[in-house]
Structure 1
């Protein structure tokens, strides 16, 4: 596996989303609330988007572990930001991210996510 010199601890990315109908669970009644699986999905997406541009067309990452606490509800229409910071690189390919989700200054979720760099299974979307 080649070296990826730009993949270094400390790099980070933040994405923002409005909590819409695709991100809520409704079993709680009313308009629903921001679903834990949706929050985790955004954390994984943010981590992937942080690393993917640094790998070139032949490599990508896959997630293999998530450890997250969902700390507060967020109503539909609220704006959340998800930040992923690369905390550790092991064996040049195993990546540990610190992830968090905020609604304004309030912490909604926090935890860690692990991904590993692998050879892409074929052409990546958008590669050409």
Structure 2
């Protein structure tokens, strides 16, 4: 991993489809609005996009912490864009400020952490756990 400058930003956009809605994703009685776990997925993807240019071959980053608020509903058919900004780097642990907007208003915000991993080592450890 190369040095990641503070302020580095990434984005990720999703066109909200029926499979992204709370009533399909979790419980049929919920309103037909973007599910919170899907919003978090967008934020995580924005964070990964922010740091991807600084990762070496064979590296990626996994989510380690999420602390967000989802405060506005988004119906099917809207485009939601998540943004992530690097606010702190502690070795392989990267801290982000994240937000999401549906083009009308901000729908969520918070913080997120990712840890840079070497895929080969990670997969080897996972394989050992699978055999237990």
- What TM-score do you get using the length of structure 1 for normalisation? 0.83
Q: How does 1:99-118 map to 2 (within 5 A)?
A: 99-118=98-117
1:1-128 equivalent positions in 2, closer than 5 A: 4-5=2-3, 7-26=4-23, 27-28=28-29, 32-90=32-90, 92-121=91-120
Tell me if structure 1 keeps the 8 A contact 2:12–2:43: no
Residue 125 of structure 1 is matched in structure 2 by none
Number of aligned residue pairs: give it: 117
Alpha-carbon distance between aligned partners in 1 of 2:104 and 2:72, rounded to the nearest angstrom: 12
Q: What is the CA–CA distance in structure 2 between the aligned matches of 1:84 and 1:121, rounded to whole Å?
A: 27
Q: Is the 8 A contact 1:64 1:116 kept in 2?
A: yes
Query: Could you list the runs of 4 or more consecutive aligned residues of structure 1 that deviate by over 2 angstroms after TM superposition?
Result: 27-30
Displacement of 1:24 in angstroms is 0.7
Q: Which protein is richer in helix relative to its size?
A: 2
Structure whose residues are more often strand by fraction? 1
- Verify the 8 A CA contact 2:66 2:113 in the aligned structure 1: yes
1:68 and 1:110 in contact (8 A); partners too: yes
Gaps of 5+ in 2: 122-132
Q: Which runs of 5+ in 1 are unaligned?
A: 123-128
Contact 1:57-1:120 within 8 A present in 2 as well: no
| Cα distance between partner residues in 2 of 1:72 and 1:119 | 37
> Distance in 2 between the 1:29 and 1:59 partners?
38
**Normalising to structure 2: TM-score of the pair?**
0.81
State the superposition RMSD in angstroms.
Answer: 1.6
1:21-78 deviation digits (Å, cap 9, x = unpaired): 2211113456x11000000011111111221232121321111100010011000001
